[in-house]
Structure 1
Amino acid sequence: MADLRLRRSVLYMPGSNQRALDKAKELPADCLILDLEDAVAPEAKDLAREQVCAAVKAGGYGDRELIIRVNGPQTPWGEQDLKAAIEAKPDAILMPKVSSTAVLEAIANRLEALDAPEDIDVWAMIETPAAILNIEKIAQARRTVPGSRLTCFVLGTNDLAKDTWAQLVKGRAPMMPWIMFALAAARANGLTILDGVFNDIADVDGCREECRQSRDLGFDGKTIIHPNQIEPANSCFAPSAEEVERAQKVIDAFNLEENARRGAIKVDGRMYERQHLGMMRRAVAWHEAILAKGT
């Protein structure tokens, strides 16, 4: 847990906007997705690819993870995007519309053929009805597909809404079964999972509420589309001072010699089993990682 990687706020930045790419160097987002796909018009795809890859090579983004979202292999830009991204050496490549293990098998083969550095991970957009139906096998590809490099799921809730006709309503009840199914598959297979975006960039309170819901559901962080959504994501995915204090009390209590053989103990009037220790240690580690990062 000492090397816990923070992914509370994962900001999409349009690759065709050089000013945005430069501004991102000063933003307190944990991760940046430099986008060549949905946020870029067809006539700007080549420019976006050039600018994004140049930005990654040049650096200047501190310790933020840099992820390049490429266009799909079935598009006119997919192969060039992939080659250029590999040359730029981001932390990860985000593949859109991963609806089956076949997509991950294909990307694994291309990465091998192109001699991609081993430290480039693959993130998968989960954004189609087929992906939800195949989610368990897709998550298992982390182990079953040789060279898959899969480490993270990113929910694409806007595309899910488009393809299913589900309404994007407050609380997201129509999508909740799909969201939790994807989250369970990720957790069962050791994957990070990031929630989809909140579209109303003017509604900071609404964004905060959905970030809080994301955290309560069990996500590692939230993808966001505007700098004013960074603070709600960062704050909501941080344990509160009360949570950290309680977690440390439980850890300290279990460390006492008289509790060494106990499966359950009482702390401040509440019962805790040893299985809770993992949760408590994670809260403390999360807090320490945030303090170390300084945001």
Structure 2
Amino acid sequence: MPEQTAFTPLRSVLYMPSSNERALEKAKAIACDGLILDLEDAVAPDAKPAARESAAAAASSGAYGRRTVTIRVNGIGTAWHDDDIVAASQAGPAGIVVPKVNTAEEVRSLVAAMEKAGAPEHTRLWAMVETPEAIFNVRELAAASDRLAVLVMGTNDLVKELYAEHVPGRAPLLTSLSLSLLAARAAGIAILDGVYNDVKNDEGFLAECEQGRQLGFDGKTLIHPGQVGPANEQFAPSERAVDDARGILEAWEAGSGSGVVTYNNKMVENLHVESARRTLAIHEAIEALG
């Protein structure tokens, strides 16, 4: 599996409507790891041109500090998509989020359009996986371009397309979530869980974050600032996990050459060492955020 060159925390990635100037200003003080400045679902058709200008200005302003700032454009084939890609590419955010990416060929076409529009090297493609077609193609899609950095699960659209229901535990979505995770890990890219709709159901939100973390997601996309703190906590290594990771590495180094290494009466192998190093890398990257 390819290695990511550096770990960027994406525990909490918050959608913000780019047509709302107050929301864009408020986002500067929200402790999320990432922002998706939205031009799609959250913006009415007649407001999209102005929202495009606002998102581009915000993304290029440098006013959001250490947050990973992205722009979600309107989908392929819509009246706004081409202009969105050009404006977003020229603004140079960390990522351009594209909804309903279904095939590897679409990934390559999107990357070509970004490059033609002058997107700087650091501006990566984030592809939303939210249709049955995308799920069937997700392995090829995830590996289609080195410029693709993140898969974003569009769970609301998946539920709609499957004629399924939103239920605790998300049984109707587990196949789609698992296949997408497998594809992301095989390609060595990040993957974000979908949104949780009931913003007043704290218990349900925490349960879904815990499930996402256990499945292997890097973080969760969010629709309300109140979800940021819990997501940050849930997708960060626990204090115990950090202590265990340090203990495993210390035991491994102390036992080098002995043939058998144990920590807390459990055998330590290379795979445990790799996991421990990843846990500490995540912890240190989060600590560096301040």
TM-score by length of 2: 0.95
Q: CA deviation at 1:275?
A: 1.1
Gaps of 5+ in 2: none
Q: CA deviation at 1:265?
A: 2.2
1:68-217 equivalence runs, <5 A: 68-142=71-145, 149-217=147-215
Which one of 260, 273, 279 corresponds to residue 275 of structure 2? 279
Report if aligned partners of 1:142, 1:189 keep a CA contact under 8 Å in 2: no
CA deviations 1:124-176 (Å, max 9, x no partner) are 00001100011111112035xxxxx1111000000001111111110101110
- Residue 259 in structure 1 maps to residue 262 in structure 2: no
Larger deviation: 264-273 or 76-85? 264-273
CA deviations 1:5-27 (Å, max 9, x no partner) are 10000000011111010000000
Distance 1:140 1:56 in 2: 27
| 1:260 partner letter | G
Q: How many residues align?
A: 287
Which one of 60, 64, 67 corresponds to residue 61 of structure 1? 64
Query: What's the Cα RMSD here?
Result: 1.4
Gaps of 5+ in 1: 144-148
- Residue 28 in structure 1 maps to residue 25 in structure 2: no
| 2:122 partner letter | D
1:40-51 equivalence runs, <5 A: 40-51=43-54
Q: CA deviation at 1:114?
A: 2.0
Report if aligned partners of 1:2, 1:285 keep a CA contact under 8 Å in 2: no
Report if aligned partners of 2:85, 2:117 keep a CA contact under 8 Å in 1: no
CA deviations 1:60-101 (Å, max 9, x no partner) are 100111110001230111111111111211111011100111
Distance 1:199 1:219 in 2: 18
Distance 2:26 2:193 in 1: 24
State the SS of the aligned residue for 1:134: helix
| % same residue | 47
Report if aligned partners of 1:204, 1:228 keep a CA contact under 8 Å in 2: no
Report the counterpart of residue 14 of structure 1 in structure 2.
Answer: 17
Distance 1:259 1:92 in 2: 42
| 2:257 partner letter | A
Q: CA deviation at 1:57?
A: 2.2
CA deviations 1:22-53 (Å, max 9, x no partner) are 00000000000000011111121112111111
